[in-house]
Structure formats: structure tokens, C-alpha cells
Amino acid sequence: MVSAYATSGTRPPAVAGSFYPRSADELSRTVADLLSAARAEERASVCGIIAPHAGYVYSGSVAAEAFASARSVEGRFRRAVIIGPSHFVLFHGVAAPSHGAFATPLGEIPIDTGAVKMLAEDGLVVIDDAPHAPDHALEVELPFLQAIFGAMPIVPLLFGAVSASAVTAAIARLWTAETLLVVSSDLSHYETYASARAHDARTAAAIESRDEAAIGPDDACGHLAIRGALIEAARRGLALERLDLRNSGDAAGDRESVVGYGAWVVVEAP
């Protein structure tokens, strides 16, 4: 962790070749195919999405549904805030990196360093590269953003041991009309197919009713990011609509121990 904010280079991809293709050409084709197969309608009123972050062979088609809903708003947003859980590094707070960009095989995505500096000065984030270095939660979402929005700047945030209100505060500070909120989270983990379907249906209902208190760490690894988004969505009168709800058993065939995936769009309420 660094005590003062200063930009330092580019964060290289950590899971290229494992969670998604390492080759730029293959990755571009894969993402294009996933987006073209998505059934989600493009939504002019979209202001946020919830998408899973597993390997593309497992959750790529579900993630594509979320991102496909934002295709029609190219040019409306000037940045994306991406928030998800730290899987490997324990820390307190919400962590932003010191880097000036994140890289994928498709190229570099600039970080909105002004926004990061503002969050750090306001005490809403810590500057810590360690959680970001190995983690896939944000990285796997980036090729979808690149395919739709090009090199639009991002604000990448990982949460550690922190309260839902602290996550909400960071989201609220940055979520403007020109900012796409991307919440990165899988759902239930390592249950049987039938159990996961029932469990994820309950979580989906809680998300769609904006019942943030009903969502815990056993329901979604990104539970605090989801809760923060739901709290702020409720405050703004925004609605969440389900686009897809599946699990790894639907993609990989193994139904004895599956991981759940869901896609939602955040829109202005009717």
C-alpha cells in the first residue's frame, strides 16, 4: 500500500490465456461472437450493469448479455467505474490502483487518475496495487468494455474488509450520468445444480427488489459491490432488470458442484 497517490505504469493482464484467450485476434473474435449471440435488448436508459467474472467458457455468454444492453449508448459515457471483490489479497477498505492504465491483449485502457486522486483525498479508497495484481474480477470485464467503448477510461475498485456503506459512498461519489457502473460478481459457489438454481433465484429476487440487506457473502462473492449499487440505485429511484441467470452446469456439464452467474441492467425506473 502506498501512502500518497502517484501514478505508476500499467497493470499487465494476470489471467490472459486462462480466463480468456491470450491472442488479441482470438480474444477479439471471442468477445465479438459472445456479444453478437446475446439476446439482451439495447437499452438507451442503461446506467449500470451487474456481470459475472468467471472464465469465458463458463460465464462469458452471461456477461455478454449485460454488456450487450449498453451497446446503444456508445458516446454517452465518458468513463466506467468497475467494482468487485478481492479474491486473493486481504486488506481493509476499497482499493484503487496507482497505475495509469490496465492492459489486456486488446490494448491499454486508461485509468481516470483524477477520479482516483479525488477518492483517495476524500478518504473513500486506499491506494493499493497488491489486491489488483493477481485478481481477475475486474480484468475479465475489460475486453467487453474495449469491444464496445474502445479506450474509454475506467476507475477500477476492489473491496476488501469493509462495510456496505463505505462501498456505497465510493459508488455514489463517481456514478454520474456520464459514468457506466459495472458491478462484477458471481453468485452461489460449489453447490449442486438444483441447489444453486434455487439459491440464485432467491438472490436474483433480492437484487430486483433492491433488498440489499438480503444479500450476503454466501449469495455472491461481490456481495458488497452489489449491495452498494442497490443502496444507491434505491436512493436514485433506479430499477434492476434481469437479463440472464445460469450457472456453470449449463455451460460445462458438471452439475455436482457449480457456480452461479447472473446479468442485470440498471435503468431509469418506468
Asked, for residue 1, whether it belongs to a domain, the answer is no
The side-by-side arrangement of strands in the sheet containing 10-11 is: 10-11, 101-104, 107-110
In a domain, 178, yes or no: yes
Q: In the chain, what percentage of residues exceed pLDDT 90?
A: 92
In a domain, 4, yes or no: no
E strand segments, 36-100: 46-51, 79-85, 94-96
The predicted pLDDT at position 253 comes to 79
**What is the residue whose three cell numbers read 436474483?**
204
pLDDT at position 66: 98
Neighbours of 209 (CB within 10 A): 12
Of 71-85, 131-145, 148-162, 206-220, the least confident: 71-85
Helix runs in 53-163, H state only: 56-68, 113-121, 142-149
Q: What is the domain-level CATH number for residue 167? A: 3.40.830.10
Distance CA 209, CA 183 (A): 17
Highest mean pLDDT among 6-15, 40-49, 150-159: 150-159
Confidence of residue 5 (pLDDT cuts 50, 70, 90): low
Is 100 among the domain residues? yes
Domain assignment present for 33 = yes
Q: Is residue 3 part of a domain?
A: no
Mean pLDDT of 230-236: 98
Instruction: For residue 246, give the DSSP letter.
Output: E
Grid cell digits, residue 242: 434481469
pLDDT at 132 over 70: yes
SS3 state at 154: strand
**Distance separating alpha carbons of residues 70 and 267, to the nearest angstrom:** 11
CA distances from 38 to 25, 32, 61, 145, 209 (A): 20, 10, 7, 15, 24
Domain span including residue 109: 10-268
What's the structural domain count of the chain? Answer: 1
Q: Which element (helix H / strand E) includes 37?
A: helix 24-37
